[in-house]
Chain A
Amino acid sequence: MASLPPRPASQRRPSPREQDPSSSDSHHAQLPGADSEAFSTTSEDSQTLLLNRRRSTQPVSSTSPQNRQTSTQPSAPKVDAEPRKCWICFNDETEDTPLSSEWRSPCPCVLVAHEKCILDWIADMEAPNSRRRAGGSGKVLCPQCRSEIHLLRPRSVVVDAVRTLERLTGLMLIPGVFVVLGSAAYSTATMLGTHAIYEIFGMDDGLQILQPLYDPPDATEASPVIRLLNHLRQHWRLDIGLPLIPSILIASRITIADSFLPIVPMIFFASSSSPDEMLNVGHWPPSAALTVALLPYIRAGYNAYYERFWLPREQRWLKEIQPRAGDTPEEGQGDNEVHNPQHIHEIFEDENGVMDIEVDLDFEVFRDWNDGGPADNHNAAEPPPVPIARGPAPPLNAPPLGANDAAPAPNVPAQPRNRNNRRMGMERGLNFNTTSLADTVLGALLFPSIAAAVGEALRLALPRSWVTSPVSGKPTGLLQARWGRSIVGGCLFVGIKDAVMLYVRWKMAQNHRKRRVLDYDKVKKRVIRP
């Protein structure tokens, strides 16, 4: 490196040294006369092309067998112009040898190059493995003026077709991945939905609802496409509704869904094929479809109730067991625990922002130790069945009759609903951490099973006459069908769970106030218990 700057280029290459200086530096100026020398020196070593060729270029290229003759050769002789310089190999035309290819000027700008150099460059760009291939539009652009460089190349239908196909496959790659992932998600959701139906409705009713899925394909229709279309036309409610079950179960655990969940039943009412049968609102028990359709409203009602009535208390209780050091004026009094409800209230108001965060965090903790998955399920309870209801609603056994059982049912659902809401509110801030996300999703997906289990427990626990359909005639109570017990069970679960959680929180707050540090009696060598 030390030798660089001052030296002429030629010194770098010992062997051709003699010839180089004269050739590369001075040849433009020197004119003919050296042609014979040029020819003699070129063939062995491509580096040593010397001598100017300006005058001889035309004759050489036209006579030399290696060079292809083309009409496009820019032959305007260089009377006073500078020698053309290839922008790729950087040789100018004075350095051309008989082996050099012709000059091309493929674009509007001043760039000119040897044909071989251009072809080489293009080949390199188009090489299948070239990393530049990625965005390759197949066009070759002049790097300076960005205009396209046109090539005349022999076309082969097969090569073109394969190339086009390759490009198309490349384009389809991303969409293809999405399609595959989408169908996987769809299948999974459908499976979960099917499972939920069986859980909630039991084998018999479930089979009835899902019957179309098990119908053998219509053998009279030969074309699979037509068969598929027929299937879609007849059973689109199932095709859409089943995968919607888990989706809505999950959505119902998140506050985002609050705005649209109540609309879902509207769609159901609007699209139901036989409204009369379904909307026998006056009868008891209601049809399964109607019941399920009402769940979002029950959920909303419960949530609103919980938020309004229980949430403030719960927050206060939670606040009470927070270590207060440093964040309250009471600190100075040396008593970190604030027993006085009024104080608590003040603090609460003062630090609303802070508090919310704390509460959220606590929630997580509680949830974890409490019961993990199931605890969070309340939110999901009602909404899930909605989609189910849309399709299968009519076939369900939900003959409206007597109104004797009316009382218990409404109460129960109402409570569970609220549960969910408040949970939801709390979860809002946390929804984006992974744990709570998994929690939410798993809880939602487990909920049908839990509801069914509680429903089953109800069947065992309640008097036989409540839970068994009359031998003849239509059921007279909500709990007489399995779906009714499942739904009531789900609501109950949510309600009870929330009640227990509230109790725990309240109790913890109570106990918190009564904590004392025990003194140690050094004489007796044990702790002094009051």
Chain B
Amino acid sequence: MSSSSRAQSPAKRLQSELKTYQSEPNDALVELGPVGDSELTHWTAVMKGVPGTAYEGGRWKLDIRIPPTYPNAPPDIKFVTRICHPNVNFKTGEICLDLLKTTWTPIYTLSTTLTAIHQLLTSAEPDSPLNVDIAQLFRQGDYVGAEALIRFYTETERWEGR
């Protein structure tokens, strides 16, 4: 039985997710979908900033790789556009979010996962940093400095593609 169920690739579910996204767009995203017509396991997304925060007005492109065991295994999501955030590696774009690692369950979709990442923008965890510099500012309580730095990168790195 396991072989037959394994044979079921994530393709169908991904199509279904895509359809759902198109009928119910995600407010946090500008776009979400496969990179090309032929490759359903490689998606890309563009995320909006959060109004009223230092991330206001930002646009970030994200790269989404879907493993063959999806949805049992979480997708691999990285920021392509550089973002200044305590839990995101500034250079590689790697995201430190438990949802993408230990607490993943198939009930999440790519869209809800991206919503979670969007929420991470405003609820950083400076105690498990991937960006030590900005996390240090947070830990020292230098919110003014941190915000200035974030705004700077939000503007200078803004994704203008398309």
Residues of A within 8 A of B (CB): 1-5, 8-14, 24, 46-47, 87-91, 99, 101, 111, 116-117, 119-121, 123-125, 131-132, 134-135, 143-144
Contact = CB atoms under 8 A, between A and B. Distances in A.
Interface string B39-65: 010001000000000000000000000
A8 B12 CA distance: 14
A111 B107 contact: yes
A90 B14 CA distance: 9
A12 B72 contact: no
A117 B102 contact: no
B12 A90 contact: yes
Contacts of B106: 87-88, 117, 121, 143
Contacts of A13: 11, 15, 37, 40
Using C-beta atoms within 8 Å of the partner chain, give the interface range for chain B: 35 or more
A132 B31 contact: no
Nearest to A49: B12
A116 B106 CA distance: 13
A120 B6 contact: yes
Nearest to A120: B5
Contact of B8 (A3, A11, A46): A46
B31 A4 contact: yes
Interface string B9-28: 00111011111101000000
A74 B6 CA distance: 24
Contacts of B123: none
B31 A131 contact: no
A12 B102 contact: no
Given A4-B31, A121-B105, A144-B107, 18 more contacts: A3-B33, A5-B22, A8-B22, A12-B34, A13-B11, A24-B16, A24-B19, A46-B8, A88-B107, A89-B12, A90-B12, A111-B107, A116-B4, A119-B2, A120-B5, A121-B72, A124-B69, A131-B102
Contacts of B33: 1, 3-5
B162 A2 contact: yes
A143 B105 contact: yes
A125 B37 CA distance: 31
Contacts of A117: 5, 106
B1 A91 contact: no
B19 A89 contact: no
Contacts of A4: 31-34
A12 B18 contact: yes
Given A91-B12, A116-B1, A120-B6, A12 B37 contact: yes
Nearest to B31: A4
B107 A99 contact: no
A234 to B, nearest CB: 52
A135 B101 CA distance: 13
B40 A12 contact: yes
A43 to B, nearest CB: 12
Nearest to B19: A9
A51 B94 CA distance: 41
B5 A11 contact: no
A124 B15 contact: no
Given A9-B18, A12-B15, A119-B1, A89 B73 contact: no
A5 B46 CA distance: 12
Contacts of B13: 88-91
